[in-house]
Amino acid sequence: MKILKIILYVLLFIAFVIVLFINISPQFGSNPNKSQKLFYSNFQNFESGEFKNNEPMALFTDEMSFWDFFKTELNREPVKEIIPFEMDVESFVSSDKDDFKLVWLGHSAFIMNISGKVILLDPMLGSHAAPLPIPSLKRYSSQFAFDINDLDKIDFVVLSHDHYDHLDYPTIKKIKDKVVQFIVPYGIGNHLTSWGVNKESITELNWEQSYKNDDIEFICLPARHFSGRGPLNRNSTLWSSWAIKSKMGKVYFSGDSGYGSHFKKIGQEHGPFDFSLIDCGQYNKAWKYSHMFPEQAIKAAVDLNTKYLIPIHWGAFTLSSHSWIEPPEIVYKESKNYNQGFIIPEIGQVLMLNKENKTVARWWRAFSQAN
């Protein structure tokens, strides 16, 4: 009995330390308060104190055992460090009104220039996809396409949801004073303000709501996913995808999403899209409702009426059990079966709308054992 009491006290102490750590560590962010939740209760996608999906979604399925997560698969990481293209920041920023450029920064992060406006999408530029420097969640590359300090002004930052591989505390701290406007789903503003972002610089939206500045419109749209930065705030903030429209062209950004009927609806109402940046990595059978397998990403691109699919959510971190090169390999091989155009850019490569965007065929194989 005495031993059981000691074990209980130890477990309670550990639980206390964990709760204390979460509450005092800034990287966990801040949760919506009671008045905000009362406001959210008027939304169709908020119920019983949580945001919800339009379609049913199980967080985990029983199609993959717990132990499968720890199996060591061949080619889980690159065999050597991926060195991104070095982006000329001055040239990228000093564009004329007819420019439409975007650069993949790895994982789901992008920098765009639309008619001279600089836009960041899910700018996760940190070293680890976690609140702590867990070795297995370290970024493949120690180098980035550019130094964030070289950007004097960022017109817009668009965020899809609050998971660590998309909303990065160290990155936000570096860029917060450069950003004119953060455009985010409801609830994420709490994280940003707790990290020192001016409340006036934050626009929060629900699905089907939009924000327009000059000729650029940002439309918050559904995704099939979930949110939360700690064990006690699951789905307390909204997750979303985005349509970005301008006179120059249109981009769809999926954020994280499982496959669903929302893609067809978005394509009908907001397409066609010049580029669709679609979740295509870090998947497995256990997460099949919250992330897409590559074949589903191709199908989503077709649903969206997309000219060029750009697969995202890969190339920077190992967050699941598949080979790190599996997403681009499948997109490369299977897109022709759907008659779907695609571009798989190298990290840091500048893509331009209505220009020939050449990429090295299967460039990722140079960093893989499967050459």
- Enclosing domain of residue 88: 31-367
Residue scoring higher pLDDT (132 or 60):
132
Q: Note whether residue 91 is domain-resident.
A: yes
Confidence of residue 16 (pLDDT cuts 50, 70, 90): very low
- For the chain, give percent helix, strand, coil, nearest 5: 30, 20, 50
pTM of the model: 0.92
Q: Note whether residue 25 is domain-resident.
A: no
Q: Note whether residue 261 is domain-resident.
A: yes
- Residue pair 252/273 in contact (Cβ under 8 Å)? The answer is yes
Mean pLDDT on 103-114: 97
Q: Note whether residue 132 is domain-resident.
A: yes
Q: Note whether residue 313 is domain-resident.
A: yes
Q: Note whether residue 4 is domain-resident.
A: no
Nearest CA among 167, 182, 106 for reference residue 345: 106
pLDDT above 90 coverage of the chain, percent: 78
Asked whether residue 354 carries a pLDDT value surpassing 60, the answer given is: yes
| pLDDT score for 12 | 55
| pLDDT score for 20 | 45
Tokens of 27: 């990287």
CATH code at position 80: 3.60.15.10
| pLDDT score for 319 | 93
Residue scoring higher pLDDT (18 or 209):
209
Q: Note whether residue 21 is domain-resident.
A: no
| Strand-strand pairing, 50-51 and 46-47 | antiparallel
Asked whether residue 69 carries a pLDDT value surpassing 70, the answer given is: no
Asked whether residue 40 carries a pLDDT value surpassing 80, the answer given is: yes
Sign of the dihedral through C-alpha 315, 318, 319, 321: positive
- Residue pair 371/365 in contact (Cβ under 8 Å)? The answer is yes
Q: Note whether residue 2 is domain-resident.
A: no
Q: How many domains, the chain?
A: 1
| pLDDT score for 326 | 95
Residue scoring higher pLDDT (22 or 197):
197
Which of 45-49, 227-231, 334-338 is the least confident region?
Answer: 227-231
